[in-house]
Structure 1
Amino acid sequence: MNEKIFRDPVHNYISITEPLIYDLINTKEFQRLRRIKQLATTSYTFHGAEHSRFSHCLGVYHIASRVIDHFEKHYPQDWNQEDSLLAMTAALLHDLGHGAYSHTFEHLFDTDHEAITQDIITNSQTEVNAVLRRVAPDFPDKVASVINHTYPNKQVEQLISSQIDCDRMDYLLRDAYYTGASYGQFDLTRILSVIRPHGNGIAFTINGTHAIEDYLVSRYQMYMQVYFHPASRAMEVLLQNLLKRAKKLYSAQKDYFKRTAPALIPFFENNYELKDYLSLDDGVMNTYFQMWMQADDAILADLANRFINRKLFKSLIITDESQTSLAEMKHLVSAIGYNPDYYTAKHKNFDLPYDIYRPEKENPRTQIELLQKDGSLIELSQESALVKSLTGTVHGDYRFYFPAEMLETDDLFQKEKEIFINYIQNDYLL
């Protein structure tokens, strides 16, 4: 096969030399990722964030291939080259199961993108599976085992999923580029020069400590400033409540939804197959929402209009003091004619920027290990005071969302709105 080149705004040239990788890219399941936004509703806040899961998966593959080239050249005694193709394949396919408006959809319809990724890889009816089986009959299962963290060689797993992996390194750089958030940048070249296989995992030589610090601070900043932005979360709340209303109406209006949202029927009925899941993408969903803007149901139509035309809810950080007022605030929302089940929501976003390995946890993290000059390992936060300050600390907030109309006082409901405003006047409003 001749070398295939993808021109990428983050990595410049992404070179494909393995026929398997190129054939996987050309499957319909992988091409579907072009129609799934990487950051879902974030483009309503950062208008440049229109990039796709397709470009991200290519980026993760590219970083993984660079790491593997580095391992094969400098550490052939510590890296099993028989796992090289497997690692690159898992990197390419790691997000294959993400769906339309992924996390919001998952929450409402109880889907699991990691489980669906494994299903696409191992299901004999998919084009991806047919390509993988050309390597060996058990190759799809090996790729799936990397995704579900059961593959015996943890070096491969940690390249794809750990606290500093190819997935995170690409999405931080890519999301920073497309959102215009310069604080998401870090020195990828330096990190890739100090990474190495070590034992049954991945380590970094200690002279790369500052580059890793920079990566972790960049990750922290991206979560606080981009991923947890209150306006993006307001769009998530609108989307969640819109789909919740449609799901509620379905049993009494089946014919309407069969006409306006046929691909959602299996999910309303909780009886979907893989082909149903793969038939959905962001464009399909947006078309349904535009149809619902003309619905007879006033709530469905209004929420669809708010989502399509970016009519955001406002939000308030929930504190111990405001927590006691939420019931009354929801009552006031109801008093002016809004159903609080669909026009209010509590939404929390919290992140743990870095933590050490804690075996007692249900899902313990793989800590970042530094290789010292004498050959021994030291955990990152023991070497870095900066990282130590982030270790084990949770950051984020908990918000109450409500219609922006609650802040207007020039109509018949002036009294109710003034009472509402009085509840929030001492809290942080966005």
Structure 2
Amino acid sequence: MGIPHFLVIPYPVMGHINPLMQFSQLVAKHGCNITFLNTEFSHKRATSSGSGQDNLKESRIKFVTLPDGLDPEDDRNDQVKVLFSIKSTMTPMFPKLIEDINALDKDNKITCIVVTMNMGWALEVGHKLGIKGALLWPPSATSLAFCDKIPNLLDDGVIDSDGLPLKKQEIQLSPNMPPMDSDNLPWVTLGKVFFAHIVQEMQTFKLAEWWLCNTTHDLEPAAFSLSQRYLPIGPLMENYSNKTSFWEEDVACLEWLDQQPPQSVIYVSFGSLATLEQSQFNELALALDLLDKPFLWVVRPDNNNKVNNAYPDEFHRSKGKIVKWAPQKKILNHPAIACFISHCGWNSTIEGVHAGVPFLCWPFFTDQFLNKSYICDVWKIGLGLEKGENGIIPKGEIRKKVEQVIIDEDMKARSLKLKE
């Protein structure tokens, strides 16, 4: 028996690649070998942004790639398109890849395949070849529980066969779990094609011997009371240096932070996928001006490195710094940060919790509404935002809520306690 050899396969978005990379580094420290499978497109993006993947070559982590089946100019923000292209392109090529990897070192063949959400097809191929499988679920364990309980939600008449709520109501999977608005179920914003995909994925994941969750029992105990299968192995917070990124990180912003007073800076970042409509972008920009506090705002370029939004004419940004992409963990742990305006993606959520920073919650889709209810209602370390009648969050509301978060000493104390 050789050394355990993991073939790990993330869906190609940063919220999946990063936790799987952190998992890989931890497993490698325990003396295991890792082969990390990226799509050609995302591997090229990550290496051209200088994210440090190439520095891992000396370690026990090796990189391989397969094409995602899309053309360079295709819109990779269309997740349904990406998902089905990957599945149809990679599945037939996958057995040969395994064969080639195993041929390189016959004593250290692949012993386990680890996938994230949307890559269940690899578990099916592995299962046929007699290779054990594991699921690493990148969002919260609660969101896994919701997907796992879809058959119950169908049977109880909560949702229809397209995953849409039959009536507006509050849903609780267990008495200790925060109630969830039926309109905010993790799949509702993604449409019926994606819902059908999730139903199929959850069936496929039963082939995996382990369901690993990037969380800890303390953060969401109610989720773990629902199933023995969910294994908390997180939060995965491995070293800062090898963070995979699709954009070059602006490290100069750390020097700028060094010059700001303690607990004075508003940090704004909506992760790697969410985008703001122009009118909403304007309100946020003007709110940051109104606050008259230093701010660090991540305004991400699109896939072609263009910025999507134009700044309003009356925006001064005199106290702020705007960057395309930033070393988020280092920023959140910087003493100058006062609060985090976040989309509440799970990675950002646990990074903020881990840094003891209070939140202003601005969820966009999927599991982000669930995470918001943990932040605001369960852990009580953040506030939500109310939209105006036009569906836009007005600048006055943003300003008011930021000021409330910043002066709330109890919330700060709870954030620090949760950090411990």
Interval of TM-score (by shorter of Structure 1 and Structure 2) = under 0.3
- Larger Cα-atom Rg: 1
**What is the TM-score with the length of structure 1 in the denominator?**
0.24
Normalising by structure 2, what TM-score? 0.25
Q: Which has the higher strand share?
A: 2
